[in-house]
Amino acid sequence: MILQITLTLIAVVALVGVLLGLILFINRQRGAPQPQEQQRARYTPGEQEILERLESLRGALSDRLDELKERVEKFIPPYGRVGYVPSNASELAQLLGFKYVKLGQEVHGELPKEVERYLDIDAEVAQIKEGDYYVYIVKRGDRKLIAVGDVYLDYLTVKFLQDFLSYI
């Protein structure tokens, strides 16, 4: 009988100990500041306001950065991203949509009548609009490129035409 009372007493003491430990654990969790509150406790109210504003700007800046990356990707032509350099007048005409390309003695396509008068221009770089056509004359050293198309080329693409003459 003493053994039975002792076992019951041990079980009751263990149960009370577990309940007391659980109660203390719950109270400690309830009274402990949350991680965000611990972080804010280090800053003054003014600093906290600045941090909140910076956090709200982070999303807007991220969206703006994505938009700028997209614009840059559109601005840089495909050959600039992959490093493709055409090897002849035909490939250049196909790449940039030219109707006529004259590269040294090599000719690709037909020259529109209204732009014939510009063929004798001697300039390092010339970009001329005549009617529906854009005429590009690029000279580097003793090499000369004349290209005619209906698409306006941006500065980087015209720069590419100059560099193209160095590659061939």
pLDDT for 54: 85
Domains annotated on the chain, with CATH: 2-74 (no CATH), 85-167 (3.30.450.240)
pLDDT digits (tens, 9 = 90+) for 124-165: 999 999 989 999 999 988 889 999 999 898 888 888 888 888
pLDDT for 23: 75
pLDDT for 31: 61
Q: Which two tokens stand for residue 122?
A: 């001697």
Look at residue 139 and give its three-state secondary structure: strand
pLDDT digits (tens, 9 = 90+) for 15-58: 666 666 667 677 776 665 555 555 546 888 888 888 888 888 88
Residue found under tokens 């055409």: 86
Output the pTM of the full model: 0.52
Residues 35 and 54: their CA atoms lie apart, in Å, by 19
CB atoms within 10 A of CB 50: 12
Q: Which residue has the higher pLDDT, 88 or 30?
A: 88
What's the Cα-to-Cα distance from 63 to each of 51, 60, 66, 67, 148, rounded to whole Å?
Answer: 19, 5, 5, 6, 39
46 contact partners, CB below 8 Å, separation of at least 6: none
